[in-house]
Amino acid sequence: MRQPLKARNEILCVLCASAVRSPRQAPRTPPVELKSTMITAIIPIILTVALGFVLECRRSMDVRALASISIYVLLPCLIFHSLLTTEITVGQAFPLIAILLLNTACLWVLGKALGRARHLSRDDESFFLLTTMFMNAGNMGMPVALYAFGDRGLEFAVVGVIIINALMNTLAVYYASRHLGGASQAVRTVFSLPTIYAAAIALIVRAADIPFPEFLLDPLKLIGRSTIPVAQLLLGIQLAKARTRVSLHLAAVVAPNLVRLVLAPALAFTFAALLGFSIQSLAAKITILICAMPTAVNIAVFTTEFGLQPRRVATAVFTSTVASFVTLSVLLLLLG
């Protein structure tokens, strides 16, 4: 009789111990994972961007040379390799494409409505549209997607970069230059960039099932992956160049920054829910993440080139980028 009683007591002790431990241990795991994801995604970007910032402060860097290398060599290689080797199907990429286009269209409607309601001048309306519609999908979007969601996340981000670049090199160039009366420049710009040809060739090779030499894929992958650190260094350099202009236009960029960093990702959440896309899917997460990116650095380049309030735009780029380190951290916690 003693042996069964002893065994019964041992079972009761185990059950009591597990009941006491389980409620304490269960909630602890998810926050730790979320925090680690946030740290691994944001801290490396902050450090690399800061390195570029300090480099520019100590030595004046040639931004155009670095930008040309990134635009004409590194990014085309990344796009070509990603589209050629990705396992993402059109159906899987559709949520990303649909939400990005809807998000851009909604922000355009908002900007036009605000321009009419507040009787903004054409230049002020262009400033608002440019700083809210176009996000930094390349310099910020791709690194965050890679660090937070791995190679698969980067593949979705590359698709987003192609969409955003196409919109930016048409609509953004138009709104940056329309005060000069030139709209045909947008079309010429689109067809002067190699990214569109890299994407087209990759899709043709893939659709035709043409075998591509493996010994060429490795250098293309290596060169393409260099886009990530170079883009972050370039962002830091450009922020350092714009730092002296920030204090003069802070009040003018508060509204665009709130739209860009808060309203845009909220709209992406809404569109994903309305269209029936699962928020837990990687495509939806990457899309929402891209929509939450700060104002694109290329917008500052375009407005400087065409003389459309370049200092105000540079201030918007600088302040939205700095603020995005906080907003993106919060968003990553929400996305999990």
Long-range pairs for 124-127: beta carbons < 8 A, 24 or more residues apart: 126/175, 126/176, 126/178, 126/179, 126/308, 127/252, 127/256, 127/303, 127/308, 127/309, 127/312, 127/313
Q: Is CATH 2.40.30.10 the right assignment for the domain spanning 41-335?
A: no
First vs last C-alpha separation in the chain: 53
Helix (H) or strand (E) holding 31: helix 29-58
% of residues, the chain, pLDDT over 90: 35
| pTM for the structure as a whole | 0.77
The pLDDT of residue 250: 80
Question: Could you tell me the CA-to-CA distances from 210 to 29, 198, 206, 288 in Å, in that order?
Answer: 47, 15, 7, 34
Give pLDDT tens digits for 232-286.
888 888 788 877 766 667 888 999 999 999 999 999 999 999 998 888 899 999 9
pLDDT above 80 (res 312): yes
The pLDDT of residue 194: 87
The tokens describing 12, both together, are 């009761």
Given 3-state DSSP classes, what are the helix, strand and coil percentages for the chain, each rounded to the nearest 5?
Answer: 85, 0, 10
- For the chain, domain boundaries: 41-335
Gap between the Cα atoms of 45 and 41, Å rounded: 7
pLDDT above 90 (res 86): no
Gap between the Cα atoms of 137 and 55, Å rounded: 23
The mean-pLDDT minimum among 39-43, 136-140, 185-189, 250-254 falls in: 185-189
Q: Is 213 helix (H, G, I), strand (E, B) or coil?
A: coil
The pLDDT of residue 288: 95
